[in-house]
């Protein structure tokens, strides 16, 4: 689907291979650090959804260890939603903060604060009750609002187009690994003599371990990393047309132009549907399995985490398949994005409807595997579409779209709180599952109609102004064809 000129621009010469330690490219180190960061922060975020069942259910960890606290809270769904109050709102300003402070500082502060609040949560629960827990969750939400925009910004700055699909899938597999880690470990620890507080201490400690490693090994861009080779830096910058970026001052983000971009509105709507379904499943599924299906806290944790292994495996082949088929010219970029998005959210939507009508544990397990495996295909759909539209302002785009998505998704726990009066009543739960399915499917249809992969004109605005002023780019400067329009 590419012209000969576009194909030539894929072929930027790779830097020569080095012997010894330096065979490990700096860009791959960034990818590994981002992957582990997602695991840690998602574990801190999602472990609470499992732990709160043990915190408010007498007869789990309290039977095995009498010193573990139990709380008679009747507002668990409100507590679960408290994280998303600040998480949703701060998304809108996260792009500006990342644009001017840089991803290195932002991700360090994010992980450090989340690690600290995780370690303090048992203390606040004992001394300040549910209000203290909600306060800490709000703080966690404030800082975790920067995670996905920062991750997308790092990928947009560090990954050549030839590697973007695969590295994108590897990095964001940390999300699914975090779900697996948090649910299994939290379920096990909550049922053990250590009790639910040990899960918060463990994930807090992992965050503190990651922080100094990130400070010493990361950088905002190839041009600012002290240890990168000249060859690798040149290869990355030329493949992404970034070799003159140091001449462009950090100017205000072109919000007015972004606000007029119809393809970006399609991306926002897609994010709303995906965020709703993800939030609904991550916050409410353990409670549904425990109260409505009748599984123990440990079994519900395993059943929540088990299918996520399918999502983890799926994340490793959806994006590489998308990248390979696009590069071979078998499918256009825009049709690839649409196909994976449709497969993902349609599968999740119809799976949710089916989940609300079955009671057999084996059937629920297989259906959850199907739903979770399909859900990871969005990485080759609307998620990577941020970088298609604007590699320079990816953080800003991700912040706004994720902000709208989470702002709407924040209503999911409230919906359950008001519709599911009796948490043991499967019929009440079915209404919330069906509504979530409708939201996921309808938003995907909108994305299919208005999606585009054309690099937006305002992304290059500063560089065009620079060239008009008489400063020319290197002859080997290219435009990333992965961001080009291939809608033919």
Q: Name the pLDDT band for 190 (thresholds 50, 70, 90).
A: confident
Within 10 Å of residue 16's Cβ, how many Cβ atoms?
A: 9
pLDDT over threshold 70, residue 480? no
- Number of domains, the chain: 1
CA gap 234, 243 in Å, rounded: 8
7 or 90, which is more confident?
90
pLDDT over threshold 70, residue 477? no
Average pLDDT estimate for 145-153: 88
Which residue, 39, 42, 32, 37, is CA-closest to 210?
37
| 43-71 tens-digit pLDDT | 999 888 888 888 886 554 444 566 777 88
CA dihedral 11, 13, 19, 21 (to 10 degrees): -70
The whole-number pLDDT of residue 49 equals: 82
Least confident interval from 213-217, 275-279, 402-406 = 402-406
pLDDT over threshold 50, residue 265? yes
pLDDT over threshold 70, residue 11? no
pLDDT over threshold 90, residue 1? no
| 283-315 tens-digit pLDDT | 777 777 777 776 665 566 566 666 667 777 887
Is residue 178 a part of any domain in this protein? yes
String of b and e for 26-44 (b: at least 16 CB within 10 Å)?
A: bbebbbebbbbbbbbbbbb
Residue 240: CB partners within 8 Å, gap ≥ 6? 156, 157, 160, 161, 391, 480
Q: Name the pLDDT band for 216 (thresholds 50, 70, 90).
A: very high
* Residue-number span of the structural domain to which 81 is assigned: 24-241+252-483
Q: Name the pLDDT band for 485 (thresholds 50, 70, 90).
A: very low
pLDDT over threshold 90, residue 214? yes
Which residue, 425, 324, 432, 440, is CA-closest to 374?
440
Q: Which helix (H) or strand (E) holds 133?
A: helix 103-144
Least confident interval from 119-133, 335-349, 473-487 = 473-487
Is residue 17 a part of any domain in this protein? no
Is residue 164 a part of any domain in this protein? yes
Q: Name the pLDDT band for 213 (thresholds 50, 70, 90).
A: very high
CATH of the domain at 231: 1.20.1250.20
Across 96-110, 384-398, 412-426, which has the greatest mean pLDDT? 96-110
The whole-number pLDDT of residue 466 equals: 44
Across 76-80, 116-120, 122-126, which has the greatest mean pLDDT? 116-120
Is residue 3 a part of any domain in this protein? no
What are the CB-based long-range contacts (under 8 Å, 24+) for 201-204?
201/118, 201/119, 201/122, 203/40, 203/43, 203/44, 203/47, 203/115, 203/118, 204/44, 204/115, 204/116, 204/117, 204/118, 204/119
Is residue 488 a part of any domain in this protein? no
Helix, strand, coil share of the chain (percent; to 5): 75, 0, 25
Whether 26 contacts 222, CB under 8 Å: yes
The whole-number pLDDT of residue 297 equals: 59
Q: Which two tokens stand for residue 318?
A: 């959806």
Is residue 13 a part of any domain in this protein? no
Q: pTM score, two decimals?
A: 0.72
Is residue 43 a part of any domain in this protein? yes
Is residue 15 a part of any domain in this protein? no
Average pLDDT estimate for 92-110: 87
Q: How confident is the prediction for the chain on average, in pLDDT? A: 80
Within 10 Å of residue 464's Cβ, how many Cβ atoms?
A: 11
Average pLDDT estimate for 141-145: 91
CA gap 321, 324 in Å, rounded: 5
């Amino acid at each position: 689907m590419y012209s000969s000129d576009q194909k030539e621009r894929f072929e930027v010469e790779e830097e020569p291979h080095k012997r010894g330690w330096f065979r490990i490219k700096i860009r791959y180190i960034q990818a590994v650090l981002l992957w582990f960061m997602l695991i840690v922060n998602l574990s801190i975020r999602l472990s609470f959804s499992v732990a709160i069942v043990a915190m408010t259910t007498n007869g789990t960890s309290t039977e095995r260890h009498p010193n573990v606290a139990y709380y008679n809270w009747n507002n668990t769904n409100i507590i679960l939603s408290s994280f998303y109050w600040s998480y949703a709102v701060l998304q809108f300003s996260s792009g500006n903060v990342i644009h001017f402070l840089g991803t290195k500082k932002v991700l360090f502060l994010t992980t450090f604060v989340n690690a600290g609040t995780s370690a303090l949560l048992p203390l606040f629960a004992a001394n300040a009750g549910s209000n203290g827990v909600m306060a800490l969750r709000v703080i966690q939400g404030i800082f975790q609002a920067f995670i996905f925009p920062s991750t997308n910004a790092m990928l947009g700055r560090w990954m050549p187009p030839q590697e973007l699909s695969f590295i994108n899938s590897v990095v964001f597999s940390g999300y699914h690994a975090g779900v697996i880690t948090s649910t299994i470990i939290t379920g096990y620890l909550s049922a053990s003599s250590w009790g639910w507080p040990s899960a918060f201490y463990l994930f807090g400690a992992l965050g503190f371990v990651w922080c100094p490693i990130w400070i010493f090994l990361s950088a905002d861009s190839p041009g600012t990393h002290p240890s990168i080779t000249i060859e690798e830096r040149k290869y990355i910058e030329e493949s992404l047309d970034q070799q003159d970026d140091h001449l462009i001052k950090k100017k205000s983000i072109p919000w007015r132009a972004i606000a007029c971009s119809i393809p970006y509105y399609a991306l926002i709507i897609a994010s709303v549907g995906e965020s709703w379904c993800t939030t609904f499943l991550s916050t409410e599924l353990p409670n549904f399995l425990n109260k409505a299906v009748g599984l123990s806290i440990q079994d519900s944790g395993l059943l929540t985490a088990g299918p996520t292994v399918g999502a983890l495996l799926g994340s490793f082949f959806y994006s590489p398949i998308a990248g390979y088929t696009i590069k071979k010219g078998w499918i256009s970029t825009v049709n690839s994005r649409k196909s994976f998005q449709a497969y993902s959210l349609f599968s999740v939507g119809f799976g949710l409807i089916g989940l609300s009508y079955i009671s057999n544990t084996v059937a629920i397990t297989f259906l959850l595997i199907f739903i979770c495996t399909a859900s990871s295909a969005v990485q080759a759909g609307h998620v990577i579409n941020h970088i298609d539209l604007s590699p320079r302002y990816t953080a800003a785009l991700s912040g706004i779209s994720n902000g709208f998505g989470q702002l709407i998704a924040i209503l999911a726990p409230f919906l359950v709180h008001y519709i599911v009066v009796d948490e043991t009543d499967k019929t009440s739960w079915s209404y919330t599952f069906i509504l979530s399915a409708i939201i996921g499917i309808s938003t995907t249809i909108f994305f299919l109609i208005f999606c585009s992969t054309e690099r937006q004109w305002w992304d290059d605005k500063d560089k065009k102004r620079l060239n008009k002023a008489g400063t020319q780019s290197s002859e080997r400067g290219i435009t990333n064809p992965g961001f080009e329009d291939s809608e033919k």
